Structure 1
Amino acid sequence: MNSANLLKQISDAKAKLRKSEQKVADYVLAQPNDIIHMRIVDLASEAMVSEPTVVRFCRALQYDGFQDFKLTLAQALASNSTFEQFSMNHDDTVLEFKHKIFDSMMGNLVEAREQLDDRALEEAIQAIASARRVEFYGLGASAPVCADAQHKLYRLKISAAAYSDPHMQTISAVTLGEGDVVVAISQTGTTKDLLHSVKLVRDTGATVITLCPANTPLAELATIPIFIDVEEDKDLSTLMSSRVVHLVVIDVIAVGVAMRLGPNAVEHLKTIKRSLRSLRQNDRRIRSLRISP
């Protein structure tokens, strides 16, 4: 478990804790790095609770005691110390916000990798590999992800399309049937137009694969839900970590589909690569252009 997961576990459980135990949770969430150097008496003093309260807090989170909790927290922080969520400020230099963005992105990718359900991925790969048609639905920032996914499947000779317009999604939805697959991609899982389209798809008997956060309306409509929960700075609309995570998950699925289709699919990809060579300028020609007056 990485630190983001453990701290999220504490945050999610906080409402179910006693008020005194919530004080411990608040201190741990605010100062996680300090906890690993504390004794139980130190934490109790800082959180202004009794030592038995600290023990009850740990056991409420399914740990044997404070030492067990502290060891898990230390391991989590050590494995994820470099990649943390960030907030921007106006004094950041290019170097500073460059590192913040890259580190946060890598952290989100690692966290998403650990959260992905391998069984759900297997089911999605099988459904797509055997589908008559595969349609990708996404709006806004999810639209480029759908276009990328359609391109990857097209290279595998799978009948695929991508729709980012609600009207086209509706038309597509009512033409589907059993044996077809829709992959609905959303960063929030709450977009009304997308939910409307997916409900129509469910009525046709087609399979619905979703890439979206857990416990959202879109996830609940899925035949095969693939949960992607990414923490982002919601004030920075241009920083779309979830979009990058979605792209990587699509890559995983596409590779899985290619492997499921067998050697013929791999040979076809090699044929495409060879056919594209004529569209690229010769390296020697490029060098001659660089040195010509």
Structure 2
Amino acid sequence: MAIHGESMRTTSKDGETLTPVLLKVETALDYPNALARVAQYILENPKKAVRQSLGELSAASQSGQATIFRLCRELGFKGFTDFKLALAAEVGQRETEPNRSENLTVNSLDETVSLISRSVSNTRQLVQQEVLASAAPPLLSARHVNIYGSGDSGLAAEVLFHRLRRIGVNARIFVNVGYAHEAAEAMTADDAAIAVSQSGASPDTVEFLRKAHHIGAFSLAITCHPKSSLAKVANVVLQMARLPQPGLSEQMIALPRAVFIAEALAIAIADHAKAVTKSARATR
């Protein structure tokens, strides 16, 4: 669930409220695969996208030129040139803004606390108890629980790995995509895989979970987009809230959501373990 505050909007000369370009692009992460792949690339590389030609962007995002043109039209632009001009203006405006890290004030600190709190509380609203409960048994009983996330999502994967290890889950984390895919191919139905991707469109992460799912291992996706490519190859999906304001201290604000997800899973697994132990004692 994205929360869009008034501070995220700009106003045209005619007084019309405009939606920031990158915020529009973020909504495209829920579009079909090819469109979502272009959107993800632009969100991760806005400065590069501004300088790239249609052909260069096509090659970099591994998508067809027709797909890029279609995305621009879907987002409300006349074409690729119109989109690039708007994106360039937004990127340029961000670069001219004062460096927040050098101008910390009480207000900016309070704003950061608010954004972190909202990202966690919104995630809590999206995480359902029954979904957590359904994930606990296969994770606890798995021979191995292989965890992978790339880029910023790799930090979230590390948090999850350490938390699950502390409660007795035989978790393993992979930071190298090659090793992650090898592990996925070697998995059996006795294993489990957890893939973390905010966009749910990262090709390497999707392929990792797809391989595990195809083999028959329990597959868990942690993403902000429940209709993403990643979610489609998962047995269970845990949804994180989208960041309240894309582009503002993203890594810092994103990590608390992962901490909450890790704690929620740990609680569900611990509750399941207690129930199993209680049941075993009762049958003796």
- TM bucket (normalised to shorter chain) is 0.5 to 0.7
2:215 corresponds to 1:204: yes
Write out per-residue CA displacement over residues 30-78 of structure 1, whole angstroms, 9 at most, x where no aligned residue. xxxxxxxxxxxxxxxxxxxxxxxxxxxxxxxxxxxxxxxxxxxxxxxxx
Work out the CA distance in 2 between the residues paired with 1:132 and 1:104: 38
**Cα distance between partner residues in 2 of 1:256 and 1:188:** 25
Aligned to 2:121: 110
CA distance in 2, matches of 1:192, 1:238: 21
Q: TM-score, normalised by structure 1?
A: 0.57
1:112–1:157 distance in 2 versus 1, CA, 3 Å:
closer
Q: Are residues 1:193 and 2:198 paired?
A: no
> C-alpha root-mean-square deviation of aligned residues, in Å?
3.0
Q: Deviations over 1:97-124 (max 9, x none)?
A: 1111111110121111112122211111
| 1:97 aligned partner | 108
2:136 is equivalent to residue 125 of structure 1: yes
What 5-or-longer segments of structure 1 have no aligned partner? 8-25, 30-86, 266-293
- Taking the aligned partners of 1:200 and 1:222, their CA distance within structure 2 comes to 11
1:220 partner letter: K
Residues 3 and 209 from structure 1, CA distance in 2 versus in 1: closer, same or farther, beyond 3 angstroms? closer
Q: Distance in 1 between matches of 2:150 and 2:197?
A: 7
- The aligned residue for residue 151 of structure 1 is 162
Identity of aligned residues (%): 17
Deviation at 1:238, TM superposition (A): 4.4
The structure whose RCO (Cα within 8 Å, separation 6+) is larger is: 2
1:144 partner amino acid: L
Which structure has the larger Rg over C-alpha atoms?
1
Residue type of the alignment partner of 2:263? D
Match of 1:250 in 2: 262
In structure 1, C-alpha distance between the alignment counterparts of 2:151 and 2:169, rounded to whole Å: 25
User: TM-score w.r.t. structure 2 length?
Assistant: 0.58
What is aligned with 2:273? 261
Cα shift readout 1:130-168 (whole Å, capped 9, x = no counterpart): 222111111112222222222222223322101121101
Q: Aligned partners of 2:189 and 2:276: how far apart in 1?
A: 26
**Secondary structure of the equivalent of 2:211?**
helix
The residue correspondences of 1:156-195 to structure 2 (distance < 5 A) are: 156-195=167-206
Q: Which consecutive unaligned segments of at least 5 residues does structure 2 have?
A: 6-15, 20-93, 278-284
TM-fit CA distance, 1:199 = 1.4
Paired residue total: 187
Structure 1: how far apart are the matches of 2:133 and 2:195?
17
Going from structure 1 to structure 2, the CA distance change for 1:190 and 1:98 (only over 3 Å counts) comes to same
